[in-house]
């Protein structure tokens, strides 16, 4: 396996990065769909934590890479993006009481917490990722990388990070409260 932080020097290197990111994206999309259908059961939140963590790894690889520059400085059309509202609704139903949370979106610019919904954040990430995946599936890996990198910095990276913090807080609180209760009763 190549070093995920190495800078692409050739088309072959860019293609390898695109393939790695596409696998993460595909896994994220499949995992999100499964959880939205209810396949996660009692493990819904830990599974979402895992899915978001893994796609953030792909984002970190994009962030650590050199800027992807399209030769003609334009993005070819891929057609309309798929409707992800069924996934959003399924996630909203599965997440129920923990769907709403607050976040300081940009810790360097924002001073007030803003309300967010996990189901919205997770699907916003999916929407950006699926758009790039469509480029990749049409055998345009450089366009896919450009889109994933651009939208990582501009949109989905923030939403994935916020969702990760919310999911982590929920899982950590559940685990630490159980440990505290067990120690108290012992």
Q: Please answer whether residues 101 and 82 qualify as being in contact, where contact means their C-beta atoms are separated by less than 8 angstroms.
A: no
Predicted confidence (pLDDT) per residue in 14-40, tens digit: 999 999 999 999 999 999 999 999 999
Rounded-to-5 percentages of helix, strand, coil across the chain: 70, 5, 25
Q: Please provide the average confidence, as pLDDT, over all residues in the chain.
A: 89
| Cα-Cα end-to-end distance for the chain | 47
Q: What is the pLDDT of residue 139?
A: 95
d(CA 141, CA 16): 9
Model pLDDT, residue 183: 44
Q: How confident is the model at residue 184 (pLDDT cuts 50, 70, 90)?
A: very low
Query: Within 10 A of 17 (CB to CB), how many other CB atoms are there?
Result: 26
**pLDDT over 60 (residue 5):** no
Tell me how crowded residue 176 is: count the other CB atoms within 10 A of its CB: 10
- Read off the tokens for 66: 């050199």
Residue with tokens 């996660």: 40
CA–CA distances in Å: residue 98 to residues 24, 95, 153, 158: 25, 6, 26, 19
- What percentage of the chain exceeds 70 in pLDDT? 90
Q: What is the pLDDT of residue 168?
A: 95
The C-alpha atoms of residue 6 and residue 53 are separated, in whole angstroms, by: 21
Cα 92 versus chain centre, distance: 17
| Residue in the structure block whose two tokens are 């950006």 | 128
CATH placement of domain 11-185 = 1.20.120
- Contacts with 179 (C-beta within 8 Å, 6 or more apart), sequence order: none
Q: What is the C-alpha to C-alpha distance for residues 31 and 48, in angstroms, rounded to an integer?
A: 8
What pLDDT shows up at residue 100?
Answer: 96
Domain spans of the chain, in order of start = 11-185
pLDDT of 1 above 50: no
pLDDT band for position 112 (50/70/90)? confident
The average pLDDT across 157-180 equals 88
Question: What confidence score (pLDDT) does residue 104 get?
Answer: 77
CA distance 120 to 99: 9
């Amino acid at each position: 396996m190549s070093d995920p932080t190495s800078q692409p020097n050739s088309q072959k290197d860019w293609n390898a990065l695109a393939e790695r990111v596409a696998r993460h994206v595909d896994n994220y999309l499949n995992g999100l769909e499964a959880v939205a259908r209810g396949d996660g059961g009692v493990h819904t939140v830990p599974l979402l934590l895992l899915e978001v963590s893994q796609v953030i790894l792909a984002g970190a690889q994009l962030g650590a890479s050199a800027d992807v520059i399209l030769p003609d400085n334009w993005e070819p059309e891929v057609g309309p993006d798929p409707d992800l509202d069924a996934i959003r609704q399924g996630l909203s139903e599965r997440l129920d009481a923990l769907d709403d949370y607050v976040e300081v979106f940009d810790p360097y610019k924002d001073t007030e917490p803003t309300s967010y919904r996990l189901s919205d954040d997770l699907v916003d990430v999916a929407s950006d990722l699926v758009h790039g995946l469509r480029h990749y599936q049409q055998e345009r890996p450089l366009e896919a990388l450009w889109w994933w990198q651009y939208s990582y910095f501009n949109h989905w990276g923030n939403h994935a990070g916020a969702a990760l913090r919310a999911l982590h807080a929920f899982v950590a609180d559940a685990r630490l409260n159980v440990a505290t209760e067990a120690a108290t009763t012992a």
